[in-house]
Amino acid sequence: MTLLFDNIKEITELKATSGFEAPVRDYLRQKITPLVDKVETDGLGGIFGIRQHQDTDAPKIMVAAHMDEVGFMISDIKADGTFRVVELGGWNPLVVSSQRFTLHTRDGRVYPVISGSVPPHFLRGANGGASLPQVSDIVFDAGFASKEEANSFGVFPGDTIIPESETILTANQKNVISKAWDNRYGVLMVAELLKNIQNEKLGHTLIAGANVQEEVGLRGAHVSTTKFDPELFFAVDCSPAGDIYGGQGAIGDGTLIRFYDPGHIMLPNMKDFLLTTAEEAGIKYQYYAAKGGTDAGAAHLKNGGVPSTTIGVCARYIHSHQTLYAMDDFLEAQAFLQAIVKRLDRSTVDLIKNY
């Protein structure tokens, strides 16, 4: 578990939001290059390692995480030197204020910045109450005295602001608290998959890597699925845990059989394959109906239709500075993904695609 935590800490403390995924892309390139026949990128910056099968009739299987985490982009610098922002990904306004972030300039400089909040002293005239802010109204403050001073430090609209958070273990040593498990989980899953199956003979060409810009509309998956044209697509992504709210998704209860979300319905043959594989491999799993989407929602609509699913785990409080999740769930999901990849061949793929 110590090695797993060290790997989690390394990857979750990287800072890379939508459209600015270079630090994670560089990490993944370094991890997967020795394990694949070649590495390719798409036109938006998605990166994939390819293990080529010699048989031209072998199916192509795509396993895709996404590299981006939620963040912000500076939309305006005010005369007083503070910033206003637009969201890169979905944020609950209640978790944005009074947090530390890092500001990343176009020329590579990095500065500390905080999100402002209204002290209770200033609310007394409003009967002590505070209204829910719009993200666009939240003040971000790096301590600059003016717009001109911010500009002199290289800060301009279009620069990014990313959560600052240390990755730590909980007291029982079973769970992790960090930012960005959505979806550094998936990136680590891909790296670990390729490492663990490097000596396995597969029945397919495997295309494994990570997309860009998932958090802003599944954009990278449209591009990569079109480029690589797989027969099956497996997103690897993290979902919100509903356990403490009386809903589905409990940390520690294993990987997810994510059979529904608003943009994707798992096909019956894919569900049969997943459940059979999980049962025969002894995988701990739980059923999950999601309220948000993953890259499977984009991929399954490309190239005449690509049967897709998501191999996932759940985590509490995602899309915030402090997400809590179980390391055991990662191990169950990794074992599940390995079992899936090892079982797929021409006949199995044809069965999944048989209507």
Catalytic residues: 214
Give the DSSP H or E segment for 7: helix 2-12
Tokens (6 digits) for 102: 């890092």
Contact 48, 224 (CB under 8 A): yes
Distance CA 283, CA 313 (A): 13
Rg of the chain in Å (alpha carbons): 21
Distance CA 209, CA 25 (A): 9
Closest by CA to 160, choosing from 216, 85, 100, 104, is: 104
310 DSSP β-pair partners: 235
Contact 300, 308 (CB under 8 A): yes
Distance CA 180, CA 251 (A): 16
Ramachandran region of residue 74, left (φ > 0), alpha (ψ -120 to 50) or beta? beta
Distance CA 341, CA 329 (A): 18
